[in-house]
Amino acid sequence: MSGSNESLPDMFVLLGFSDNSWIELPLFLILLISYPLAMLGNFFIILICRLDHHLHSPMYFFLTNLSFLDICYTTSIVPQIMFNLGSSKKTITYIGCAIQLYFFHFMGSAECLLLAVMSLDRYVAICKPLHYTLIMNHHICTLLVSIVWLSGLTYAISEVTLTLQLPLCGHNELDHLICEMPVVIKAACGDKSSNEFGLSLVCVFFLAIPLALVIASYVCIGEAVKKIQSSEGRKKAFGTCSSHLIVVLLFYGPAISMYLQPPSSISRDQPKFMALFYGVVTPTLNPFIYTLRNKDVKGAIGNILRRMFRSKRGSISNIK
């Protein structure tokens, strides 16, 4: 290749766990189980929240958006990882890599902001209960979700586009399972300091600031829960908030360790395990965390199952 094409390979070779190939089969089997679970679990959350009118509230409106994000987020990487794990040629086209970068970072950044919005919702519900329906009305909830999606899209288009402008100087190997921005920056040649600084600066907005808002919200929530005299009320408040807090820790922890440091300082295997964690493990666990620790969701599941059972029993009686 010559001219501008020197830095644009047709294919990227994803090295993955090439030094430890024995990991590939167990990892493929894990993904074979976890990916359908993530899809079914998140589809189930969306379905339950749509079917049960008791869950037509801001909290579950945000939860359905989170589940949809998780479906898209996981789908942007897992099928490609599984295909490469089951193939001797572990490659991805340049166009495929670019598309994966856009989608993965669009969904990931939107999820960072959405988790902060969900903590704000919990803060208003517990600390300002008398004004909750006034503050978190349908218009405000729709506006917040629109800002989340638009911000994620803006970040992905701007930051990924800048990253793709970096010269690769013929390098077509990425030491990763997927195309991820810090790894692509690390593989580029020439001066990358402005890209590294820009990525760190943007990630402060999408990771550090939202996490600070989450922490501040939960400090206020903790103080408010202490003042609730009813043990049942405290238990309910703790139940709904603890589920969200677990999800926040599972998502923000690995993401911060990956993105809030210069790509040149990232160790070789760190990106692979971090991507598997926040791209596969967290979206798979989220539906179980919210259903197993949430009385409203469990009650909605019970109501739907009872209606289905009564409907089926009525159909059998009519046949008889």
The confidence band for 3, taking pLDDT boundaries of 50, 70 and 90, is very low
**What per-residue confidence (pLDDT) applies to 262?**
64
**What per-residue confidence (pLDDT) applies to 314?**
57
**What per-residue confidence (pLDDT) applies to 2?**
40
Q: What secondary structure letter does DSSP report for 204?
A: I
| Res 65 pLDDT > 90 | yes
Of 274, 97, 96, nearest to 188 by C-alpha is 97
Q: What is the mean pLDDT of residues 64-82?
A: 92
Name the token pair of 216: 């501040």
Residue 4, Cβ neighbours under 10 Å: how many?
8
Handedness of CA 195, 259, 77, 41 (dihedral sign): negative
The confidence band for 172, taking pLDDT boundaries of 50, 70 and 90, is confident
Q: Where are the beta strands (DSSP E) in 159-203?
A: 173-174
CA angle 316, 48, 109 (to 5 degrees): 155
Share of the chain above pLDDT 90, in %: 29
In angstroms, rounded to a whole number, what is the distance separating the alpha carbons of residues 101 and 103?
6
| Res 176 pLDDT > 90 | no
In angstroms, rounded to a whole number, what is the distance separating the alpha carbons of residues 171 and 11?
10
Q: Which range, of 178-182, 206-210, 304-308, averages the lowest pLDDT?
A: 304-308
In angstroms, rounded to a whole number, what is the distance separating the alpha carbons of residues 183 and 252?
19
| Res 56 pLDDT > 90 | no
| Res 198 pLDDT > 80 | yes
**What per-residue confidence (pLDDT) applies to 11?**
85
**What per-residue confidence (pLDDT) applies to 293?**
63
**What per-residue confidence (pLDDT) applies to 117?**
94
Which CATH number does the domain 3-298 belong to among 3.40.50.720, 3.40.50.970, 1.20.1070.10, 3.30.450.20?
1.20.1070.10
Domain assignments of the chain as residue spans, ordered by start: 3-298
Whole-structure pTM value: 0.85
| Res 4 pLDDT > 80 | no
**What per-residue confidence (pLDDT) applies to 1?**
39
In angstroms, rounded to a whole number, what is the distance separating the alpha carbons of residues 320 and 318?
5
**What per-residue confidence (pLDDT) applies to 267?**
63
In angstroms, rounded to a whole number, what is the distance separating the alpha carbons of residues 154 and 109?
10
Separation in Å, CA 102 to CA 25, 69, 166, 262 = 28, 14, 16, 20
CA angle 150, 210, 291 (to 5 degrees): 85
**306 or 79, which is more confident?**
79
Task: Note whether 82 and 25 are within 8 A (CB).
Answer: no
| Res 275 pLDDT > 60 | yes
| Res 34 pLDDT > 60 | yes
Sequence-distant (6+) residues with CB within 8 A of 116 are 210, 211, 213, 214
| Res 205 pLDDT > 70 | yes
CA 222: distance to chain centroid? 25
Q: What is the mean pLDDT of residues 233-249?
A: 75
The confidence band for 285, taking pLDDT boundaries of 50, 70 and 90, is confident
